[in-house]
Amino acid sequence: MFPFKKNPPDWSKEVMIDELNIFISLYKNRPIKNNSHGMRFPHMFAVFFILRKLKPNLVIESGVYRGQSTWLIEKALPDAEILSIDINLNQREYISSNAKYSNLDFKYQDFSKIPDNTLVFFDDHQPHLDRIKQSKFFGIKDIILEDNYPPGYGDFPTIKYTYSNKDFNHALTFLNIVKTTYLLFAQFIKKIIRNNYLISLDQINSRLRDCRSNSNDFNNLDKNIETYYEFPPINEFEKTFLGIDTKKEEFKTEKPFLKILDSDILEFKDELNFYNYITYIKLK
């Protein structure tokens, strides 16, 4: 079962190595040198490669954070339109003059007139299955998923949880409980004070991510998927997964496409074990 794949694209090891050499030169000029909690070398290369192979006319990124991924998209596809979505755009350190920005959640956007070859990149820590359903509704077929961690890991239910038929149990901290309770209480107060106020649970739902498995979810998802492909690690460094024993079944990946690291890539060796199962999905 691990890793699941379906009609993987014909992307050879040789082509990946060629694109990696191009990417290394580009990555040296990245605007944010220490992008902790954001995309790093392996994630960036996987997205760079997929974008360059698919060449969409419009790229939607849901989850901007500091802006490193926006920079990557415009460098990979100089002629593409970019829509960068984040409910909190105040964290940006890199702001692109080539991108349109929106703090309106992906599911509320007007995508009634987007190009047929639109691609969406989700790095927003929202349930993957929900995002795929929304993409299907908008007619978006090409999807890149960040942080597709196996069951027991990550901070939201990923597609790996779906095809493994596993519950997602979101651990709560005391601060999380206090803040979530406050947000819910504030909604009730606004409703009491203003009769025409409409309660919104968006913020609360995004904080309470528990998800009970449904054995039918994967069958329904599989019916709508043409391609499912987890991008391989660059090398064995990535498969250490921050010290976790990746010999377990759930951590299996495609084989790394590099065996020996040259001096150029060793410059970024501290980032190479940040592997997070970048996944490409094409919907029917």
CA distance 142 to 121: 9
Q: So what's the pLDDT on residue 237?
A: 59
Quote helix, strand, coil % in the chain, to nearest 5.
40, 15, 50
Q: Render 19-75 in DSSP notation, one character per residue.
A: HHHHHHHHHTT-S-S--TTS--HHHHHHHHHHHHHH--SEEEEE--TTSHHHHHHHH
Query: Going residue by residue through the chain (284 aa), what tens digit of pLDDT does each one get?
Result: 567 889 999 999 999 999 999 999 999 999 999 888 889 999 999 999 999 999 999 999 999 999 999 999 999 999 999 999 999 999 999 999 999 999 999 999 999 999 999 999 999 999 999 999 999 999 999 999 999 999 988 899 999 999 999 999 988 899 999 999 999 999 999 999 998 999 998 888 888 889 999 999 999 999 999 999 999 988 875 555 555 556 677 777 888 888 777 778 888 888 887 888 999 999 99
Q: What pTM did the predictor assign? A: 0.92
Q: So what's the pLDDT on residue 45?
A: 96
Q: In this structure, what token pair is assigned to residue 188?
A: 């009730």
Q: So what's the pLDDT on residue 8?
A: 94
CATH match for 13-170+212-283 among 3.40.50, 1.10.260, 3.60.21, 1.10.10: 3.40.50
| Residue at token pair 């064995």 | 236
Q: So what's the pLDDT on residue 58?
A: 98
Q: So what's the pLDDT on residue 203?
A: 85
Which helix (DSSP H) or strand (DSSP E) does residue 11 occupy? none
Question: Do residues 215 and 165 make contact, with C-beta atoms less than 8 angstroms apart?
Answer: yes
